[in-house]
Amino acid sequence: MIRRREFIAGLGGAAAWPLTARAQQRAMPVIGYLSSSPADYDASTLVAFRRGLGDVGYTEGRNVAIEYRFADAHYDRLTVLAADLIHLKVRVIVAAAVNPAHAAKVATTTIPIVFSISRPFPGRCRRSG
């Protein structure tokens, strides 16, 4: 026969179990996306990127977050944008071309960098500053 104290302790533990389970859940992984192009130029690439993530079970906002950084053809901004992604502790950096990949490589030696080579941005390189 169960004693009253054991019953109350068990009931309290059962009530707290969902809170404990929620606290032990892993944080949603964050992918950093780094591009030297404007966001609208990467639109079709991003559709394919999200589709590819979906093919392996990842859906933005549901089980993965994506932080986007676009340099808008200001290549000198890539290092700062890469550093921002690193500060956010992204799990991986997806670089949309060689220049963003190089900026990410200079900024970190611990975060994996994945990059693709696609069509070059047709705009003229604009320097800030």
Q: What is the pLDDT of residue 115?
A: 86
Q: Per residue in 72-85, pLDDT tens?
A: 999 999 999 999 99
pLDDT at 129: 46
Could you give the CA distance from residue 46 to residue 128 in angstroms, rounded to a whole number? 26
- pLDDT score of 8 more than 50: yes
Q: Is residue 3 predicted with pLDDT exceeding 80?
A: no
Q: Where are the beta strands (DSSP E) in the chain?
A: 30-35, 65-70, 92-95, 113-115
| Mean pLDDT (whole number) for 34-40 | 93
Longest dimension (CA), the chain: 82
pTM of the model: 0.72
**Domains of the chain with bracketed CATH:** 30-115 (3.40.50.2300)
pLDDT tens for residues 47-73? 999 999 999 999 999 999 999 999 999
